[in-house]
Amino acid sequence: MMSSEIYLKPLDQADAPAMLELKTRNRSFFQPYEPIRSEAHYTLEEQENEIKNGITSSDQDQAYIFGVYLTQSDQLIGRIAITSVSRGVFLNAYLGYFIDQAYNGRGYATAAVTLVVRKAFEELNLHRIQAGVMPRNERSIRVLEKAGFRREGLAQRYLKINDQWEDHLLFAITAED
């Protein structure tokens, strides 16, 4: 999956060192928007385990996890995932993503969301993708809105982020959109 400036590809074990470096370099930038991570999270072994679990989840049609890479340099600058895939009458999944702070504000997140939504609808035959965003995360809200997601409401105390129960605005997009 490619746009002119980025492409997505499933993460594999060879990506673990680059993912560790990305997460370590952005640790304080990501922290306000993530659960509290143990020190073990910031090890090569844990990144290898996460990638291995992602591959297994993909094989089982439960989740699809991609690296976001710059087309020019093949540098890993982020991750985007479709998780909790539901089949049957729901055909739904959840979306989550992050982009290296050094590459924020350049449209890469919007491009990645657009690419993964297209894959979800055209290749994975999903009907709906939803995402939750803390109301103060204005950049992520803009990304979703630019990618065609609609705001559906507010979920109070939705996820425990940075050791606090945080409200989240709920967004969704369907194949008809």
Only one residue has tokens 């297994």, namely 56
Confidence of residue 1 (pLDDT cuts 50, 70, 90): low
Q: How do strand 6-10 and strand 64-70 relate by DSSP bridges?
A: antiparallel
Q: What integer pLDDT is reported at residue 104 of this predicted model?
A: 94
| Residue whose token pair is 């559906």 | 152
Q: CA dist 177 to 80, 119, 151, 161, Å?
A: 20, 14, 13, 30
Q: What is the mean pLDDT of the chain?
A: 96
Query: Torsion angle, CA of 144/51/99/90, rounded to 10 degrees?
Result: 0
For 71-95, write each residue's pLDDT tens digit.
999 999 999 999 999 999 999 999 9
Q: What does the block give as tokens for 87?
A: 């089949």
Sheet holding 128-133, edge to edge: 6-10, 64-70, 76-86, 92-99, 128-133, 164-174, 150-161
Phi and psi torsions of 114, nearest 5°: -60, -45
CATH topology of domain 6-174: Aminopeptidase (3.40.630)
pLDDT score of 68 more than 80: yes
Pairing of strands 128-133, 92-99: parallel
The per-residue DSSP string of 13-56 comes to: GGGHHHHHHHHHHTHHHHGGGS----GGGGSHHHHHHHHHHHHH
Q: Which pLDDT belongs to residue 2?
A: 58
Longest Cα–Cα distance in the chain: 43
Query: DSSP secondary-structure letter at 4?
Result: S
Q: Give the predicted TM-score (pTM) of the model.
A: 0.94
Q: Report the pLDDT value the prediction gives residue 4, as an integer from 0 to 100.
A: 84
- pLDDT tens per residue across span 3-46: 689 999 999 999 999 999 999 999 999 999 999 999 999 999 99
